[in-house]
């Protein structure tokens, strides 16, 4: 999950800072990130102990994971002619 990092002055907005803290915490335990719009930050809530089992990660190579997630679903943007690239580059206004 992407997190906007601090700029060249070392400043990082509160949303990005608290999101990064929550994502680092989730490496060790299950957490829920909640957007606190009033305070312009994320709140991190750990899950109750023993509520969820440890995640089971299949033994797959990175290339296989990308193939399953992107290429097999038609989501791999592999050229400048791909409809999504054209849309994002604002070259094709008819693309969805």
For residue 44, what are the CA distances in angstroms to 11, 29, 33? 21, 11, 5
Predicted pLDDT at 20: 92
Predicted pLDDT at 42: 95
Predicted pLDDT at 44: 94
Predicted pLDDT at 17: 92
Flag residues of the chain having pLDDT under 50.
92, 95
SS3 annotation, the chain:
CCCCCCCCCCCCCHHHHHHHHHHHHCCCCCEEEEEECCCCEEEEEECCCCCCCCCCCCCCCHHHHHHHHCHHHCCCCCCCCCHHHHHHCCCCCCCC
Q: Where are the domains of the chain?
A: 1-53, 57-96
């Amino acid at each position: 999950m992407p997190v906007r990092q601090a700029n060249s002055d070392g400043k990082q907005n509160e949303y990005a800072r608290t999101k990064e803290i929550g994502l680092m915490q989730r490496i060790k335990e299950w957490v829920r990130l909640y957007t606190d719009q009033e305070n312009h930050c994320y709140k991190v809530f750990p899950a109750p102990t023993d509520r969820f089992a440890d995640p089971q990660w299949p033994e797959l190579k990175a290339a296989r994971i990308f193939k399953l997630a992107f290429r097999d679903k038609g989501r791999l943007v592999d050229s400048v002619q791909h409809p999504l690239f054209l849309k994002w580059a604002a070259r094709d206004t008819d693309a969805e």
